[in-house]
Amino acid sequence: MIWKEDIETMPLEDLKNLQSERLANIVRYVYENCPVYKDKFDRTGVSPGDVRSIDDITRLPFTTKLDMRDHYPFGLFSRPRTDLVEIHVSSGTTGNPTLVGYTRDDIGLWSDVMARALCCAGAEPEDTIQIAYGYGLFTGGLGFHYGALEMGLTIIPTSSGQTKRQLKIMQDFTPRILACTPSYALYMVEEAKEMGLDPRRSSWEIGIFGAEPWSESMRAEIEAEWNMLATDVYGLSEIIGPGVSQECHLKQGLHVFSDVFYPEIIDPETGQPVAEGQDGELVITTLTKQGIPLIRYRTRDIVSMTTEPCACGRTSPRTSKIKGRTDDMIVVRGINVFPSQIEHVLLGIEGTHPHYQIVIDRQAHQLDSVQIMVEVDERIFSDEIKKMRALERQIQHEIQAVLSVSVEVKLVEPKTLERSMGKAKRVVDKRSL
């Protein structure tokens, strides 16, 4: 079924009119309610009256993660704090996280788009869903929760981890839908086999996987191992969380809910739109969000997009899976990690600036492992093993506290870490996704 059939199958011309009307409204709204945007628009020389059609969107300035950082925590909000009913954070590039907040209407919007996503993947109102995304500050768990609640599914909020319990719950309550990161879905295969379960006979028929990049070969593996349909969901906290776009059962790209999250694909160098079907950076404008609406937000994700209506009946544009990033962000076990966060921690340790390297690996059907190699120079070296171990532990704890991902710290000799053209290579990603 299609959750919002009138909207999701709307003829393109009507959709464009709706987007145009909403864009004009949101531009006026942020201009009047958010001084940061008023200033941004004034400096660009564009006034709300100039925006009459969705095509005028290219006249507006971009919003970046840097803006979120510069105006942390509440500068980009268009509503007073008292109107917010929920706050989430995601990774920031340095000391501060990226803050997002929702008004009651925004939670309604999130519930709506996630209900659309669940339906798009093939959920029916009588289904049971096992939500194995983390609940908490991370938007994955609660985003799915709101959508499932909106749809009237039966929710099993297992959150992430505790794999044996996840599998027992699956056996006992037979949910038809599983929501988690794709790497966790593969990890559970091994655990199931160890428990003597046949993954091909699990109750899960539909998987909704996201929060990290994954390939078609990974999809094929998940589908073969679990005997399920594996679909891709996309979103980012800055926009709403999960629920920006979702694949239907045809798996021909992710349907962007473009009546509320208007997508553009631009050349990250020039900022100009690329031709349809070409790779570029996904830029999203939230057309109806109230708490922290974002105009032309640069996601840094590289995708391509088609506006060709899908055979499923939905008329929304579809993007490819994420093909890369325009920055150095990496996703580890569904958590966004910036090398600069690690640098920031190391800088704070005894005032030194050791050379470091992040090595990420994933063994077959295992979760991602992160090793931080830190070069030991005279400033942090001690002849006492206990002091070296304490240093190792301090680095580990501080990095884990910042990243919310467990890491292993390895102290190495100077000059052992790879440098290309004299420039430090900060990230070695050995995973084949």
Partner 1 sequence: MNITQLSVFLENRKGRLAEVCSLLGRHQINIRALTIAETESFGVLRIVVDKPDEAAALLKEHRITANVTNVVAVEVPDKPGGLAGVLKVLADHDVNVEYMYGFVEKSSDNALMVFRFDAVEAAIKVLSDSGIKIVGAEHIRGL
**Does residue 416 touch partner 1 according to CB under 8 A?**
yes
Q: Which residue, 302 or 412, has its beta carbon nearer to partner 1?
A: 412
Stretch that binds partner 1, among 210-218, 222-230, 295-303, 405-413 (CB under 8 A): 405-413
**Does residue 381 touch partner 1 according to CB under 8 A?**
yes
Among 270, 384, 420, 421, binds partner 1 (CB under 8 A): 384
Stretch that binds partner 1, among 108-116, 262-270, 287-295, 374-382 (CB under 8 A): 374-382
**Does residue 382 touch partner 1 according to CB under 8 A?**
yes
**Does residue 414 touch partner 1 according to CB under 8 A?**
yes
For residue 333, the minimal CB distance to partner 1 (Å) is 23
Burial bucket for residue 274 (CB in 10 Å: 0-12, 13-18, 19+): middle
**Does residue 28 touch partner 1 according to CB under 8 A?**
no
**Does residue 385 touch partner 1 according to CB under 8 A?**
yes
**Does residue 413 touch partner 1 according to CB under 8 A?**
yes
Report strand pairing: 369-375 vs 408-412. parallel
Beta carbons within 10 angstroms of residue 381's beta carbon: 12
For residue 386, the minimal CB distance to partner 1 (Å) is 9
**Does residue 126 touch partner 1 according to CB under 8 A?**
no
For residue 390, the minimal CB distance to partner 1 (Å) is 12
Q: Which residue, 312 or 412, has its beta carbon nearer to partner 1?
A: 412
Stretch that binds partner 1, among 63-71, 109-117, 231-239, 410-418 (CB under 8 A): 410-418
Residues 214-243 that bind partner 1 (CB under 8 A): none
For residue 374, the minimal CB distance to partner 1 (Å) is 11
SS (H, E, C) the chain: CCCCHHHHCCCHHHHHHHHHHHHHHHHHHHHHHCHHHHHHHHHHCCCHHHCCCHHHHHHCCCECHHHHHHCCCCCCCCCCHHHEEEEEEECCCCCCCEEEEEEHHHHHHHHHHHHHHHHHHCCCCCCEEEECCCCCCCHHHHHHHHHHHHHCCEEECCCCCCHHHHHHHHHHHCCCEEEECHHHHHHHHHHHHHCCCCHHHCCCCEEEECCCCCCHHHHHHHHHHHCCEEEEEEEECCCCEEEEEEECCCCCCEEECCCCEEEEEECCCCCCECCCCCCEEEEEEECCCCCCCCCCEEEEEEECEECCCCCCCCCCCEECCCCEECCCCEEECCEEECHHHHHHHHHCCCCCCCCEEEEEECCCCCCCEEEEEEECCCCCCCCCHHHHHHHHHHHHHHHHHHHCCCCEEEEECCCCCCEECCEECCEEECCCC
**Does residue 411 touch partner 1 according to CB under 8 A?**
yes
Stretch that binds partner 1, among 144-152, 194-202, 371-379, 422-430 (CB under 8 A): 371-379
For residue 375, the minimal CB distance to partner 1 (Å) is 8
Q: Which residue, 55 or 418, has its beta carbon nearer to partner 1?
A: 418
**Does residue 388 touch partner 1 according to CB under 8 A?**
yes
**Does residue 415 touch partner 1 according to CB under 8 A?**
yes
Q: Which residue, 283 or 391, has its beta carbon nearer to partner 1?
A: 391
**Does residue 393 touch partner 1 according to CB under 8 A?**
no
For residue 376, the minimal CB distance to partner 1 (Å) is 5
Site of interaction with partner 1 (CB under 8 A): 376-378, 381-385, 388-389, 410-416
